Structure 1
């Protein structure tokens, strides 16, 4: 097949379209909010009907988890051509996502539903420190409330969240890791190495890949992701975020799409996650991946584009979005022969990194 439709009009779909163009394939994007089609990498939007979509696109994929409840995008997301259909029925709701993980026997933080206000106190008594998460709609720290052991519960709008949230045990993790992998239409799989991630206020600020001292964790991570993709009959790229706890992996979140923590693959591997996603859907064999040393991915958040960045080490990917606080507007990838070799390159980006990035690099180096 040589034509794929991605539901969503954002930068992830655009990067899929760019990857497809290099292979002589076509990825078109459907913007649900405008109800218009963006052909390939073009910004010239045109209308399209259900019948035209059925005629043109044998495969439909997604760049996000949530869509309007009605309209063409909702119909396409539920159609049998959507390779993420099963994932969209499970992953966006944290209750069904956690229930699936429990069913599969995949480790995740102990949890319970927040059905009534008094359940929050019961969770604190049971777990100590807790994390309250809205069942749906949370992203980049929104819809999440962290309460340490003995902490103040007053900041959690429990009455408003009753019946719409879960409560997890707060996990004392060593570091945050993620794995990005792909499953093809025919069931073939391929995985990138584990990545070390650093979040500040719930937003990913820095990824280091491959994660240091992760050889013993790589295979378990691959097995968990493969089981999830098979359970959901999913095709394309998927990501799983983990906590590392006492040398074991605990699943935190699942993303049924290309993922921010996989952006390092643009410059850090022979095939980017966007290339891999298109390959998986178009029937192109999933070739072995070569990683180019060590890569740091720096998120560019809430700040206008600076021409001076082009003189910094690395490659800038800018999304062309309007600027607002907390918004992911681009990323930069820095590649070195070794993790230690990234230090000077990262220091050049100190003006866009929160304080503490050097400690993250030092802690990663100390592991091995």
Structure 2
């Protein structure tokens, strides 16, 4: 199997295509917004028919969760060749995602549906602090409203969200962790170590890997991710974000694709998450992963490219997107032998990291 079609025309698909090229494989990208094909890493878009797709691509994967409900991309996403088909039917809707987790017995924040506006004060009475999440479409802090215990509910558009949102109990977590792993088309699995993530205003700003003091958490994280992938009959890379609460893991979100918190693997491991995704879909054996010391990933958010970055420690990955506030336009990866050495490198990136990143490093170091 040497050809894969990825639904989506963004940077994640492009990085899959780059990984495939090193293996002598081909990953082409279908851009749903333009209804055009982007062959390999090319930006020269061409038309393609359903018949050509059927003839050319034995496997279809995705770089995002949501696609138009009708049209060519919807047909491809629902095709029996799409290895994410089951995941796309469950994961994008937080109601069906949480229902699946409850069915599997996987810990997640207590929750209720927001069927009508009156459900919100009732949930606050039961849970205390709450997080209101749109059932679909929310990401990077969008579609999310956090209300602390005794907080003001007027900022939540509960009437507009009725039937379109869930309400979760606000969890007082110790830290946010994630695991990225893969399941092959033959059912073989492989996992990266748990990663420490730091979000600001709902947007991931810094990942540190491997997360410290996770020897007791790695196996439960792998079991949960494997269980989810098997339930959805999923092939490729998937990520799960967790809250760490009293030494236990609680699932926060699931991403049925390569994930921002796995970008550190570009420089931090023998095989990046993009290599692993392509391996899993092409039938290449999933070899053991060698991780290179301590790694950090710094998200570059809403900022123009700076030539000075090329003199900073680490490697810059730039996406070639137009710059706007809150948009992920690139990331930088740093690798070092220890967290102490990593901190010195990260200080060079202080101008693009929000205040507080040093405290994150200190708290992670204290766990070591």
TM-score, normalised relative to structure 1: 1.00
Matched, 1:328 2:328: yes
Which residue in 1 is equivalent to 2:23?
23
Matched, 1:112 2:77: no
- Helix, strand or coil for the counterpart of 1:325? coil
Deviation sequence 1:98-124 (CA, Å, 0-9, x none): 000000000000000000010000000
Which residue in 2 is equivalent to 1:219?
219
The CA distance in 1 between the partners of 2:340 and 2:158, in whole Å, is: 45
Which residue in 2 is equivalent to 1:364?
364
Which residue in 2 is equivalent to 1:95?
95
- Helix, strand or coil for the counterpart of 1:215? coil
The CA distance in 2 between the partners of 1:142 and 1:54, in whole Å, is: 36
The CA distance in 2 between the partners of 1:142 and 1:184, in whole Å, is: 32
For residues 37-76 of structure 1, what are the structure 2 equivalents within 5 Å? 37-76=37-76
The CA distance in 1 between the partners of 2:350 and 2:3, in whole Å, is: 41
- Helix, strand or coil for the counterpart of 1:205? strand
Which residue in 2 is equivalent to 1:169?
169
Which residue in 2 is equivalent to 1:125?
125
The CA distance in 2 between the partners of 1:158 and 1:22, in whole Å, is: 50
For residues 1-368 of structure 1, what are the structure 2 equivalents within 5 Å? 1-368=1-368
Structure 1 residue 212 displacement after superposition: 0.4
Structure 1 residue 70 displacement after superposition: 1.1
Deviation sequence 1:67-91 (CA, Å, 0-9, x none): 0111110000000000000000000
- Helix, strand or coil for the counterpart of 1:82? coil
- Helix, strand or coil for the counterpart of 1:14? helix
Structure 2 segments unaligned to the other structure (5+ residues): none
Deviation sequence 1:33-91 (CA, Å, 0-9, x none): 00000000000000001111000000000000000111110000000000000000000
The CA distance in 2 between the partners of 1:240 and 1:109, in whole Å, is: 14
- Helix, strand or coil for the counterpart of 1:333? strand
The CA distance in 2 between the partners of 1:326 and 1:42, in whole Å, is: 27
The CA distance in 2 between the partners of 1:101 and 1:130, in whole Å, is: 19
The CA distance in 1 between the partners of 2:299 and 2:271, in whole Å, is: 20
Structure 1 residue 170 displacement after superposition: 0.1
- Helix, strand or coil for the counterpart of 2:355? coil
Structure 1 residue 20 displacement after superposition: 0.1
Deviation sequence 1:220-245 (CA, Å, 0-9, x none): 00000000000000000000000000
The CA distance in 2 between the partners of 1:116 and 1:43, in whole Å, is: 46
- Helix, strand or coil for the counterpart of 1:141? coil
The CA distance in 2 between the partners of 1:82 and 1:151, in whole Å, is: 44
Structure 1 segments unaligned to the other structure (5+ residues): none
Runs of 4+ in 1 over 6 A off after TM superposition: none
TM-score, normalised relative to structure 2: 1.00
- Helix, strand or coil for the counterpart of 2:6? strand
The CA distance in 2 between the partners of 1:3 and 1:333, in whole Å, is: 29
Structure 1 residue 340 displacement after superposition: 1.6
Structure 1 residue 168 displacement after superposition: 0.1
The CA distance in 2 between the partners of 1:73 and 1:312, in whole Å, is: 40
The CA distance in 2 between the partners of 1:281 and 1:109, in whole Å, is: 32
The size of the alignment, in residue pairs, is 368
CA RMSD of aligned residues (A): 0.3
